[in-house]
Each structure stands twice: as structure tokens, then as C-alpha cells.
Amino acid sequence: MYQEERMQAILDYLKQNKRISADEICRLYDVSRDTARRDLVSLADRGAVIRTHGGAILPASHDSCKPYSERIVTDVKEKQHIAACAARLIKQGDCVIFDASTTVLACAELLDDVPFTLITNAINVADVIATKENITLIMLGGRLRHRHRYFYGATTLNTLSECFADKLFIGAAGFSEHGLTVDHDEDAAVIRKMISQAKQAVVLADSSKFGKTCSFKICDLSQIDLVITASNPPDDFADLLAKHNVDLIVAKKLSDD
């Protein structure tokens, strides 16, 4: 079992049992105490657990992320500018990964029906791509999060381990000096794996995401290659992106020129 799979299994156990000890991790997943400790340290660093003496518990949780049906009709014009710019980056013969962001969905809707491969864990993205006969669609299965319409968990991570993409397009619930963050630990785990499987990670982020930090960290800014947004971010954040060698495209500015 890979570390990411084991850590997701630990989180699943915690959701059912509220707490877990290092000894239980050793017994359940046949690992050493040092490995169990490293898993708990990694989960704590991501904000997914709170370490206790000899184990861990889940932090107090809240679902601040609006349902998919509400997010899909929010900031529509801004998302369209970003999506149109992102769609132009995909070329015939590419292999790309799309996450479950509503801005990424807007990009899917604008894609030309030309031969390339698209991998996704998002039901709505798959539904759009299914109408485009020349695009090869690979749907990542797993456990369904009904409220936000994406698959997650060990099955999703296992399939991703065997996929290698040219480009990855992801959204963000939060985008700050702390890196890319989301509201759900399982979403963070899947996107983190997507990043590891792609040559280029492209973040599609509207202006409301800049400076915002959510509960669970996906990655540091240095692991992102390109950000597409619809308006100029604050100067200090633009400087931070440049410091970490992250390229920036302001889509609205391009469309107005």
C-alpha cells in the first residue's frame, strides 16, 4: 500500500471511529511504528488530523464549500474568461487531467472536439466530454462525494498512479502564501496525486480565491507551473508567484487587448 493510500485509509478509519492510535495503524496496515508516526506527522502537517499522545483525532470539521449546484452559477463571466484561455492550451494528442472545479468544467465545455485524452474524477466534466466523440475519456472511479460530484479514495488514487499526463487543470478553494488549499481532505489527496502525475500543473483561479486559505493543503506554490485568472492579483501575491517561478496569465486582460 502506498503512503497516500494508507493515509486516506487512516482518515476513513478516523471518520468512523473518531480516533486512532499508532499501535492501531501498525496492526491495521502492517507497518512499523516509525512509519505510523511519519504518516501521522504528514497528516498533521496538512491539517487533516490533530496529533495526540500516541495517536491522532480529527479536527473539528465544517463544510464551508457551497454545493456544486450553487458554485456552478457563481462568477460565471470570470470563469468563462479563464476557461477560454485554458482551453487554448490543450493541443491535439495531449493527455490532460481535469479535477472537479466548476471553472475547469467551464473549460471542458469550450474544448474543441479534436483527438486527445482527458482523465477526470468529476461527473459533470465526464458528462460534457462524453458528447465529444474524438476525445478519449478516462473516468476515475472510487467513492462518490455526492454534494460535490467527484470520486475520491483509494481506488481513485490507485488508478491515478498508472496515469501520466502532459497537463493538469485544477481549481482552488484557497490560494495564498500557504499554497493551494481546499475544504476537504479527500479532495486534497486526489489533487495532490494528480499533480505528481502531470508534467505541468495549471491552476484556474478567479479573484475571490487569492489570499484565502482553506482547511486542507494540496501543495506549495512551488509545485504549480501556471496560474490563469481573470483579473490582476494583488501586487504582493503576484510577487510571491514570481518568487516561486509560477507563470501568470490574466485572461480578461488578454481578451480586452
pLDDT (tens digit per residue) in 154-173: 999 999 999 999 999 999 88
First to last CA, the chain: 51
The CATH number assigned to the domain with range 3-57 reads 1.10.10.10
* Mean pLDDT lowest among 44-58, 67-81, 93-107: 67-81
pLDDT at 233 over 50: yes
Which has the closest alpha carbon to 142: 123, 129, 117?
Answer: 123
**Mean pLDDT value of segment 5-33:** 90
**Mean pLDDT value of segment 50-70:** 66
Q: Which residues of the chain does CATH 3.40.50.10470 include? A: 68-256
pLDDT (0 to 100) of residue 112:
95
Computed over every residue of the chain, the mean pLDDT equals 89
pLDDT (0 to 100) of residue 24:
94
How does DSSP assign 154-165, residue by residue?
A: HHHHHHHHT--E
The pLDDT-based confidence of 75 (bands split at 50, 70, 90) is: low
pLDDT (0 to 100) of residue 184:
86
The pLDDT-based confidence of 148 (bands split at 50, 70, 90) is: confident
CB–CB of 5/28 below 8 Å? no
**Cell 483525532 belongs to residue:** 57
In a 10 Å sphere around its CB, with 0-12 CB exposed, 13-18 middle and 19+ buried, how is residue 9 labelled? middle
Q: Residue type for 35, please?
A: T
> What angle in degrees, to the nearest 10, is found between the helix axes of 33-45 and 3-17?
80
CA 200, CA 7: separation in Å to the nearest integer?
A: 25
**pTM, entire model:** 0.72
pLDDT (0 to 100) of residue 126:
97
pLDDT higher at 85 or 1 = 85
CB–CB of 249/228 below 8 Å? yes
The pLDDT-based confidence of 91 (bands split at 50, 70, 90) is: very high
Contacts of 91 (CB under 8 A, 6+ apart): 116
Q: How many CA atoms lie within 13 A of 252 on its CB side?
A: 14
pLDDT (0 to 100) of residue 60:
56
Annotation: CATH topology of 68-256: Rossmann fold (3.40.50)
pLDDT (0 to 100) of residue 219:
95
pLDDT at 67 over 60: no
Exposure b/e, 42-63, CB count within 10 A at least 16 = b: ebeebbbbeeeeebbebeeeee
The pLDDT-based confidence of 4 (bands split at 50, 70, 90) is: confident
Q: Averaging pLDDT over each range in 36-45, 56-65, 71-80, which range is the top one?
A: 36-45
pLDDT (0 to 100) of residue 68:
46
Handedness of CA 87, 90, 193, 42 (dihedral sign): negative
CB–CB of 3/36 below 8 Å? no
Q: Which residues of the chain does CATH 1.10.10.10 include? A: 3-57
pLDDT at 72 over 50: no
pLDDT (0 to 100) of residue 231:
87
pLDDT (0 to 100) of residue 74:
53
* Mean pLDDT lowest among 38-47, 69-78, 150-159, 213-222: 69-78
**Mean pLDDT value of segment 23-40:** 94
